[in-house]
Every structure is written in C-alpha cells, then in structure tokens.
C-alpha cells in the first residue's frame, strides 16, 4: 500500500495561507490523493482529492507535484475554525476494496 508522511504539527496565523505538505513517494499511477480533516470529537470531513492535476474547490487547493511523489494542501485564508487534524491519504485498492489508509495526520493550529 502507498503510505503518506506528514509533519505532526503546524501553526498558522489567522488570515494567512496554511500550506500543509504530504509525501507519498510510493504512490502508483492510478491512486488518488485525498485530504480529510478531523475537528475535535467529530468524524473526518472530506476536503479535496486529485490524481495529477492541481485542484481547487470552495474549501482549499491541492497542488500535486509532476512526479506525484508529494502534494500540498492550501487553505488560502485560515480561520480559527480550521484548527483540526489534517489527513493526507492515498486511496488504495486493497483486497478489492477502495479503503482509506489513514496515518496520524498534521495537527494544524490557527493562531489569533
């Protein structure tokens, strides 16, 4: 299975862009990169996903390097409510199931 590596924690000033990196050097050609976040005591919330092109939605942007070995999630104007654990996940087809394999994520703290 492809694995991901993320820094355990990051701080970001409110109103600034938060750039969360993720390494997935063993990703294979048909595996997507997904980002979820988990606010304390809630279930994970879908943010964005991509294959090889950069993606943007109302929540965030996803930048994937050309070799697909790493990606960056960008929250353009972080707010205090963006404080959460952010998970970068490679969607793996394992035993016939498209399951998520979660790591321990990056704990983002947005500072006032």
Partner 1 sequence: GAGVSQSPSNKVTEKGKDVELRCDPISGHTALYWYRQSLGQGLEFLIYFQGNSAPDKSGLPSDRFSAERTGGSVSTLTIQRTQQEDSAVYLCASSARQGVSIEQYFGPGTRLTVT
Q: Which residues bind partner 1 (CB under 8 A)?
A: 30-32, 34, 36, 41-46, 49, 51, 87, 91, 93-105
Enter the tokens of residue 52.
């090889």
Strand 9-13, strand 106-111: pairing: parallel
Q: How far is the CB of 110 from partner 1 (least distance, A)?
A: 20
Q: What percent of the residues of the chain are helix, what percent strand, and what percent coil, each to the nearest 5?
A: 5, 50, 50
Q: How far is the CB of 112 from partner 1 (least distance, A)?
A: 25
The nearer residue to partner 1, 64 or 105, going by C-beta atoms, is 105
Helix (H) or strand (E) holding 110: strand 106-111
The nearer residue to partner 1, 58 or 95, going by C-beta atoms, is 95
Q: How far is the CB of 16 from partner 1 (least distance, A)?
A: 27
94: DSSP letter: E
The nearer residue to partner 1, 42 or 67, going by C-beta atoms, is 42
The nearer residue to partner 1, 42 or 112, going by C-beta atoms, is 42
Q: How far is the CB of 102 from partner 1 (least distance, A)?
A: 4
Enter the tokens of residue 68.
């697909």
Burial (CB < 10 A; 0-12, 13-18, 19+), residue 107, is middle
């Amino acid at each position: 299975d492809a694995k991901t590596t993320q820094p355990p924690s990051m701080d970001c000033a409110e109103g600034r862009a938060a750039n969360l990196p993720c390494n997935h050097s063993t990703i294979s050609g048909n595996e997507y990169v997904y980002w979820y976040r988990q606010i304390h005591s809630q279930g994970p919330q879908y943010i964005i996903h991509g294959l090889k092109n950069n993606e943007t939605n109302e929540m965030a942007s996803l930048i994937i390097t050309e070799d697909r070995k790493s990606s960056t999630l960008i929250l353009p104007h972080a707010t205090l409510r963006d404080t959460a654990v952010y998970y970068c996940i490679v969607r793996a087809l394992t035993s016939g199931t498209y399951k998520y394999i979660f790591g321990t994520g990056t704990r983002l703290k947005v500072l006032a």
